[in-house]
């Protein structure tokens, strides 16, 4: 570890006497001052590196203190700081006497379990943060310092809030925490372009007082719309929206958001859910959802789509494929409508994909199972004229011989029609890494 090379010989000797191991190269002279170029600090990475050779907690704490002191002496300016794993005793590492080191901080990742006073201190120094990611430890007390830190930022563009602890026993704390955070965010609505939250147990009245204010959003990633009236959703108009991700299956709310967008949406990721099987409005809602996409999203590239296997749904789906010519990536969750054989629906789907798929389509995923005969699959692959295709599914069932199936897949991988054909867990099928 390069930081260890900055330790004085006396300190190195002291550490060795007390059984604290340092990397062998730390005793070699450096060619130049590496740390003077350092702009990014990740406290978790530092902790991991230290713990590899020093499993004893006391030894780790000694090294952490030494390394943080060196960083503050050698690094002139920080742009990125991930302090989720920093010990509270070292919080002054982030608040040096020379405040210029953190005055132009661009990105901060932190946890609510840090004392509120730290964030008040940081708010006096760092007011140019553009990316703020908060990991919420709900067991902690209300952290008003974070609300203050949000409030003083001059150009906050990206805000992310992650609830990571089970919350049922702390509901009153959570509600209060959200209130202060939401009110602070409301004041930054004119600058925030990217909002990523998974608030739990939030007050709907307050949420829908604040959400419509974010009229400059380019990405909205949210766990669910906890609304009491559909009119609340209709107030949310985001004309610049490019990414919309919802972690709960809600076609009505999603259709409204899509309709009120400005035609720039490139990613619509609505998590599939089995619950729709028991909702009487699913067939109608899913038809409307498909229509809203091809009517309002000509630039769509990535899409999660859930619908029934009825003839009408397949007709609307084919219209979507013909209109949305930029589509690159498609996740399908198709509910078996009626009592028909699912093989028939799988084969119908393949026929539509061959006939109407945009040439940009590169990957198709199936959320549950995908079923068809080997002949239908072979016809599909033989007629495919787009990019080498990846097909990923949770479970694949087919009619035919196993050896014939394997040879078929091997053949079309070899000739370049098929890039990949595999089964994955539902979690991996859903995984869509969104980097903003």
Residue 350 sits in a domain whose CATH number is 3.80.10.10
Q: Which residues of 174-249 form beta strands (DSSP E)? A: 194-197, 219-222, 243-246
In a domain, 252, yes or no: yes
> Would you write out the chain's pLDDT as a tens digit for each of its 436 residues?
577 777 778 888 878 887 777 766 555 666 767 777 888 888 888 888 777 777 787 777 788 878 888 887 788 888 999 988 776 555 555 555 556 788 999 999 998 888 888 899 899 999 999 999 999 876 666 789 999 999 999 999 999 999 876 555 445 555 546 889 999 999 999 999 999 998 877 888 888 999 999 999 999 999 888 787 889 999 999 999 999 999 888 999 999 999 999 999 999 999 887 655 556 788 899 999 999 999 999 999 999 999 988 999 999 999 999 999 999 999 999 887 654 445 678 889 999 999 999 999 999 999 877 788 888 999 999 999 889 999 998 887 766 678 888 899 999 999 999 999 998 888 888 887 767 7
Number of independent structural domains in the chain? 1
Q: In this structure, what token pair is assigned to residue 375?
A: 């002949």
In a domain, 34, yes or no: no
In a domain, 139, yes or no: no
Residue whose C-alpha is closest to residue 60's, from 93, 20, 89: 20
Contacts of 49 (CB under 8 A, 6+ apart): 1
In a domain, 183, yes or no: no
Q: How far apart are the first and last CA of the chain?
A: 30
In a domain, 209, yes or no: no
Helix, strand or coil, per DSSP, at residue 188: coil
CA distance 159 to 130: 8
CB neighbours of residue 40 within 10 Å: 13
In a domain, 147, yes or no: no
Residue whose C-alpha is closest to residue 127's, from 104, 146, 101: 104
Kindly report the CA angle at 44 between 185 and 148, in degrees rounded to 5? Answer: 20
CB-CB contact of 239 with 263 (8 Å): no
Can you give the residue range of the structural domain that contains 359?
Answer: 217-436
In a domain, 176, yes or no: no
The model scores a pTM over 0.75: yes
The half-sphere exposure of 39 on its side-chain side, counting CA atoms within 13 A, is 8
Give the DSSP per-residue string, 116-142: HHHHHHHHHH-----EEEEEE-TTSPP
CA distance 134 to 160: 6
In a domain, 212, yes or no: no
């Amino acid at each position: 570890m390069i930081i260890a090379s900055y330790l004085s010989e006396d300190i190195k000797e002291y550490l060795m006497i007390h059984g604290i191991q340092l990397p062998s190269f730390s005793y070699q002279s450096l060619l130049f001052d590496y740390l003077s170029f350092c702009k990014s600090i990740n406290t978790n990475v530092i902790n991991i590196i230290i713990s590899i050779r020093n499993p004893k907690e006391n030894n780790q704490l000694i090294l952490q203190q030494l390394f943080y002191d060196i960083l503050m002496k050698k690094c002139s300016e920080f742009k990125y700081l991930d302090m989720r794993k920093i010990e509270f005793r070292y919080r002054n590492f982030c608040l040096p006497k020379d405040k210029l080191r953190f005055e132009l901080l661009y990105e901060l990742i932190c946890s609510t379990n840090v004392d509120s006073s730290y964030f008040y201190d940081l708010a006096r120094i760092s007011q140019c943060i553009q990316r703020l990611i908060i990991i919420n430890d709900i067991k902690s007390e209300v952290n008003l310092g974070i609300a203050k830190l949000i409030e003083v930022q001059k150009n906050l563009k990206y805000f992310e809030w992650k609830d990571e602890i089970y919350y049922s026993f702390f509901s009153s704390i959570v509600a209060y925490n959200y209130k202060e955070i939401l009110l602070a965010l409301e004041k930054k609505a004119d600058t925030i372009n990217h909002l990523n939250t998974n608030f739990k147990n939030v007050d709907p009245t307050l949420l829908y007082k604040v959400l419509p204010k974010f009229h400059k959003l380019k990405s909205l990633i949210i766990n669910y719309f906890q609304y009491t009236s559909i009119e609340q959703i209709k107030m949310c108009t985001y004309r610049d929206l490019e990414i919309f991700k919802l972690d709960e299956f809600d076609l009505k709310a999603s259709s409204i958001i899509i309709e009120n967008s400005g035609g720039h949406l490139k990613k619509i990721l609505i998590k599939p859910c089995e619950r729709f099987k028991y909702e009487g409005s699913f067939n109608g809602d899913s038809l409307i959802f498909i229509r809203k996409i091809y009517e309002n999203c000509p630039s769509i590239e990535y899409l999660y789509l859930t619908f029934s296997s009825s003839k009408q749904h397949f007709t609307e789906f084919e219209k979507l494929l013909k209109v949305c010519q930029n589509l690159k990536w498609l996740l399908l969750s198709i509910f078996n409508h009626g009592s028909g054989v699912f093989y028939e629906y799988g084969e119908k789907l393949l026929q539509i994909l061959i006939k109407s798929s945009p040439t940009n389509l590169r990957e198709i995923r199936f959320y549950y199972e995908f079923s068809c005969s080997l002949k239908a699959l072979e016809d599909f692959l033989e007629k495919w004229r787009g990019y080498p295709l990846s097909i990923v599914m949770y479970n694949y069932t087919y009619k035919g011989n196993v050896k014939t199936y394997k040879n078929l897949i091997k053949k079309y991988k070899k000739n370049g029609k098929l890039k990949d054909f595999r089964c994955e867990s539902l979690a991996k099928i859903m995984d869509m890494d969104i980097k903003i």
